[in-house]
Amino acid sequence: MTTDVTRQSLINIEHLVGHATLQDLGREHAQHLGFSASGVADLHAAAYANQQLGNTVSNPVIELALAEITLTSSINIEVCITGAVCQVSIGGKTKQQWQKLSLAAGEKLSISRPTNGVYVYIALAHRIATDEFLESVSPVPDAMNVTANIHPLKAGASLALAQHVDEKRLETGAIYQPVPNNFYTFDKLTLRFIPSDLWRRLDECEQDLMLSQSYGITRNSNKMGYRLNGVSLPLSSNHYQQLSRPCAFGTIQISSDGLPIILMKERQTIGGYPIIGHVMQTDLFRLAQLTAGNTVTLCPVSLSFAQQQLHMLYQRLNII
Amino acid sequence: MNTTQQLRVTISDISIEFITENAVLLLWPENIDEAQHHHILAIQQEINSRLGQKLIDSVASYNSLIIYYHFTSLSAEHLFFVLSEIISETPTSSSLILTANSNDKTSVVEIPVLYNEVAGWDLATVASATKLSCNDVVNIHSQSEYRAYALGFTPGFCYLASLDECLILPRMQTPRIRVPKGAVAIAGSQTAVYPNESPGGWHIIGQTPLPMYSLSEGFSPTISVGDTVKFRAIDEEEFQRLGGQVQQESR
């Protein structure tokens, strides 16, 4: 779909503090080889940014994780900044997030470290010409040598732009959505989850213990998994002797200390801890924006409700 | 049947549980069993072939199989119907293993291993904990054949079983921050090779110079799920000739 790469058009990273990577939808189809699904942590924000520019959802975006960045472009280009709350300026003038913005050649786009949330996304109205591995530009966590040409972004680096000949983009055009003010919750997010068979076998007191408390997000949380802190739920030892089985996005494992770990985009593909359910995906995009000190509660929902919510989000963001 | 209300249904000892918006988990009885694993792979192959573009991926493990699917184009109800059909049509575990053995299609992967106390960081500890000599540990580990049950943890890491009962030990209480690339290790009834340097809590009894994957055409793991694996003891000279460089533990 992308052809005629013009290496002259560049995005130059003038300043970067923190972790920044190129990300797309990841490698969900390569989990049978042991690859983490990976990809954008907050699909809602990344897809929204691409949608504002008329890009397809798989167009690579720059993902900033608690980072600040200044970049320039060698050509006039449209951009969209979404995700965590931060200060955005172009040529020294404050700009809004969640909108299509024009960045003139040589102008500086500056994005501050987030004041609320974790991940900020920068979508560009051109495809970035970069290496792929197993059909994704996302770095492979814990096996960077597998993808020697795919690595985190650095200050002083330049990203080459392909001329945008994404056919789908030309057909679709930009689709403007209202700014999603109510999507994110930074104060006590309720994580709705699809209960597992193990959850249904817990007694009422054990279920109440988990549903009635607020869990704190610990500092040991990252894109691989979110570790929660609270009153532990000791499970009988036979639950910990089960054979390792595949782990999905949103798996709620109970670690040996009786506390939940929620598996995120860079999870391992297989794990052996007991599982009480899976957080529905629309809430996982919200969870990805929370950090140590934020709190969450748990609430069971049906599979059909979770599917309906995700389907609506996909439709709104033109993912299907 | 309404799978959206009843999330888990059991057919012929196999439970089918719709665990997320786009994933369904099939669970067999909690055993490491070659015949059962043949059945899992046969069902996986049939699912892959029947679902085509509606399938995202499928991952098999010891007694489980997860199917990731496009829920916007395939309903849980219809998928349940397809899975029920496949399960009822796929031959039982015992007849499958007979067919597999008679066709002799299984690949045998031989892994050269330098077993000594420099390469095998935990060889002496394992010998002591199992009340065996280091030589016995090496002989027992290298004389058995292992089945590749799952790829996971990190790209190219293959879970192999079953270890001889006299070598079974729990994982280390505190995992190491750094296990070297090529470490041959054991834990519980499993053995494996670490494809890259990574954290890990298994007991290291040797090192192999054999890479666990190739990047010449995308990504090809050295061991595929369903393969048979044998370890062959080699000396330091052969280890070096094969391109190996012993990684010593830094204390």
The answer to whether A290 and A296 are in contact (CB under 8 A) is: yes
| Residues listed for chain A | 320
CA distance linking residue A111 with residue A120, whole number of Å: 9
Name the residue type at position A131: D
Q: What is the model's pLDDT at position B6?
A: 54
**Angle ∠(B235,B241,B246) on CA atoms, nearest 5:** 60
Quick check: A237 contacting B, CB < 8 Å?
no
DSSP for A277-300, please give it. Answer: EEE-HHHHHHHTT--TT-EEEEEE
Q: Six-digit token pair at B175?
A: 């995992």
pLDDT tens-digit series, residues A119-168:
999 999 988 999 899 999 999 876 666 776 788 999 999 999 986 555 55
Indicate yes or no: CB of B57 within 8 angstroms of CB of A242: no
Q: What is the model's pLDDT at position A166?
A: 55
- Domain borders along chain A are 5-172, 189-316
pTM as predicted: 0.91
- How many angstroms away from the CA of A260 is the closest CA of chain B? 17
Q: Give the fold, CATH level 3, of B8-103.
A: Gyrase A; domain 2 (3.30.1360)
**Considering only the top CATH level, what class is B108-241?**
mainly beta
- How many angstroms away from the CA of A286 is the closest CA of chain B? 16
Residue A221 CA neighbour count, 13 Å, CB half: 26
Cβ-Cβ contacts under 8 Å for A271 (sequence gap 6 or more)? A244, A245, A247, A251, A253, A263
Indicate yes or no: CB of B155 within 8 angstroms of CB of A35: yes
DSSP character for B2? -
pLDDT one digit per residue (tens) for chain B, 251 residues: 444 455 678 887 999 999 999 999 999 999 999 999 999 999 999 999 999 999 999 999 999 999 999 999 999 999 999 999 999 999 875 555 555 555 545 689 999 999 999 999 999 999 999 999 999 999 999 999 999 999 998 899 999 999 999 999 988 878 898 999 999 999 999 999 999 998 888 999 999 999 999 988 889 999 999 999 999 999 999 999 999 999 999 86
Q: Six-digit token pair at A180?
A: 């999603």
The answer to whether A53 and A176 are in contact (CB under 8 A) is: no
Q: Six-digit token pair at A231?
A: 């009153």
Q: Where in chain B is the domain with CATH 3.30.1360.40?
A: 8-103
The CATH number of domain A5-172, selected from 1.10.3470, 2.60.120, 2.50.20, 1.10.10: 2.60.120
Q: Where in chain B is the domain with CATH 2.40.100.10?
A: 108-241
Instruction: Report the candidate in A284, A289, A265 with the shortest Cα–Cα distance to residue A120.
Output: A289
- How many angstroms away from the CA of B13 is the closest CA of chain A? 15
Q: Which residue has the tokens 């496949």?
A: B86
The answer to whether B123 and B116 are in contact (CB under 8 A) is: yes
Q: What is the model's pLDDT at position A6?
A: 46
pLDDT tens-digit series, residues A79-101:
999 999 999 999 999 999 999 99
CA distance linking residue A112 with residue A14, whole number of Å: 14
Residue-wise burial string across A93-132, b where 16 or more C-beta atoms lie within 10 A, e elsewhere: eebebbebbebeeebbbbbeebeebbbbbbbbbbbbbeee
Q: What is the model's pLDDT at position B9?
A: 80
Interface confidence, given as ipTM, is: 0.93
Ranges of chain A with pLDDT below 50: 1-7, 170
Residue of B nearest to A306 (CA): B21
The CATH number of domain A189-316, selected from 2.40.100.10, 2.60.40.10, 2.40.170.20, 3.40.980.10: 2.40.100.10
CA distance linking residue B128 with residue B126, whole number of Å: 5
Indicate yes or no: CB of A310 within 8 angstroms of CB of B21: yes
Q: With contacts defined as CB-CB under 8 Å, which chain B residues touch A150?
A: none
Cβ-Cβ contacts under 8 Å for B217 (sequence gap 6 or more)? none
3-state secondary structure of B219: coil
The answer to whether B153 and B132 are in contact (CB under 8 A) is: no
Indicate yes or no: CB of A268 within 8 angstroms of CB of B153: yes
CA distance linking residue B27 with residue B14, whole number of Å: 5
Chain A, chain B: beta-carbon pairs less than 8 Å apart: 137
Tell whether omega for the bond before B162 is within 30 degrees of 0, i.e. cis: yes
Q: What is the model's pLDDT at position B97?
A: 56
